[in-house]
Amino acid sequence: MSTNPTSVVWDLTYTCPLRCVHCYSESGRRPARKLGRDDMLRVADAIVSVRPETVALTGGEPLVVPEVFELARRFTAAGSRVYLYTGGWPMKPAMVDDLAESCHKVIVSVDGATAEVHDQVRGRAGSFERAMTALALLDQGARERRERGAKPLNFGLDCVVLRSSFAQLELFCTDIVPRFPEMTELVFGAVVPTGLASRTGFAEHELLTDEQMAQMRDDAFLDRLQALAPSSVRVFCQDNIELQMNPAQIAAKAESEQIMVVEPDGEVRAMTNYEGTVGNLLTEPVPVLWQRAIDRWTHPVVVDAMSDVDTMADWAVATRRIDYYFGSDDVRDRIDRRPEFTAPISLSTP
């Protein structure tokens, strides 16, 4: 097991203009918990101290954070590859060069190949058009930078795949990606039962079926999608099972990528996709917090909760148990207030 995390995910804020039905952090529905600039830089320096290979800046919506480019440059200067994830809503032309200069890659999240699908998943009318505008700005910026020999602007598209949107994967390859010739990456990732996606009802209606999960890991399925996309774009399909953090998986892959998730105020999550923290980067060094996190991975409650996980629905039950056990009183109150998901997303056949 690595003595330090190899990758860090920092949710810079829980502020978000969107209300995604599957949001793992319930961003936009809770206090932002964003730090002031000085404390953000202190957290950044704590992360830099362990020299992670990659740092992902997420949220909420990271582009609403005024310090985002200063933080990204700090991590890049320290030798980490910086990935920024955005829903695209706040993207402005003036941001494009800053993104290119400070980040290794910019990833725009698009969860439907049509406005009808995307806007329902994302919970706000107009979010699809905003995402397309963001991609167009990145595409234009990437082309202009390439033509003048500037540092490349690398960008891609990330789609969280729900049961209701599974049928649109080919449409992403044939209709969306060709609009942006400078794009290099299209990633399809199965929605995982964390946060709002772990709610009672969501598993039954929107987590992928066993058959769909099998397709997500099938080479022939991936090859078909790759053949439909422009040859300049690399397509990935991920079942995201590794995010389960099943103790048996961890034991079998002890030397694999180890991810530390940092909440907006510097609190460190013990497990990537589950509630429950182990301390704060503002008050304790990363190695101490990281060891506490590692200890959590094989806690008896975690082992017992994961012991009978065979299906996505089982995983959702295990998530709810882990979150409720390790979460603070505020976390449990938030979980108790989550609205039940009672029906599948209403979508037309593409």
pLDDT(164) > 50: yes
Least Cα distance to 345 among 181, 147, 118, 85 occurs for 118
Candidates 10, 23, 232; CA nearest to 127 is 23
Q: What angle do CA 207, 269, 111 make, to 5 degrees?
A: 30
For residue 200, pLDDT over 50 is answered with yes
Q: Using alpha carbons only, what angle is made at residue 267 by residues 266 and 268, rounded to the nearest 5 degrees? A: 110
> Average pLDDT over the chain, rounded to whole?
94
Looking at residue 278, its pLDDT comes to 98
- pLDDT tens digit sequence for 246-257: 888 777 765 566
Q: How much is the pLDDT for 240?
A: 94
Give the whole-angstrom CA distance, residue 99 versus residue 155. 10
pLDDT tens string 277-328 = 999 999 999 999 999 999 999 999 999 999 989 999 999 999 999 999 999 9
Mark residue 119 as left, alpha or beta (left: phi above 0; alpha: psi -120 to 50; beta: remaining): alpha
Summarize the confidence of residues 28-38 as an average pLDDT. Answer: 95
pLDDT digit string (tens) for 171-198? 999 999 999 999 999 999 999 999 999 9
Residue 182 contacts residue 176 (beta carbons within 8 Å): no
Q: What is the value of pTM for the model shown?
A: 0.95
Q: How far is 103 from 97, CA to CA, in rounded Å?
A: 10
At residue 336, does pLDDT exceed 90? yes
- Amino acid 349: pLDDT: 40
DSSP state of 336: H
Query: What's the pLDDT band for 203 if we cut at 50, 70, 90?
Result: confident
pLDDT beyond 50 at 348:
no
The total of other beta-carbon atoms located within 10 Å of residue 200's CB is 13
The predicted pLDDT at position 345 comes to 74
pLDDT of residue 3: 78
Q: Which residue has the tokens 């910026």?
A: 141
